[in-house]
Amino acid sequence: MDALITHFRRGRNTQHSSQMLIMVPNTATRAAAQKLVGKVVVWESPSKKQIKGVVLAPHGNKGIVRAKFETGMPGQAIASKVTVQ
């Protein structure tokens, strides 16, 4: 299924470049997002390079999940599509 990267995981003074917040369609609650934990996430760059990650946990109560990728993600990944397998 396709999903959308919304932003980096960040705090007030820090930014975790290998962790992204992902909005998955048809998941509007924390319980629905909890079912996605452990699934593989794949982002394809414009040069067709694939970066893989894993869904770690829900983020908040509106169905957004947090995923950790194997390398730091570029800023151009924000607002792009990923595949959740």
What are 19-76's pLDDT values in tens digits?
999 999 999 999 999 999 999 999 999 999 999 999 999 999 999 999 999 988 999 9
In this structure, what token pair is assigned to residue 67? 């995923």
Tell me, letter by letter, the H, E, C secondary structure of 52-76. Answer: EEEEEEEECCCCEEEEEECCCCCHH
CB 3 within 8 A of CB 59: no
- Cα 67 to chain center, whole Å? 4
In the chain, how many domains are there?
Answer: 1
Looking up residue 41, the CATH number of its domain turns out to be: 2.40.10.190
- What per-residue confidence (pLDDT) applies to 20? 95
- What per-residue confidence (pLDDT) applies to 5? 96
Q: Domain span at residue 50?
A: 2-84
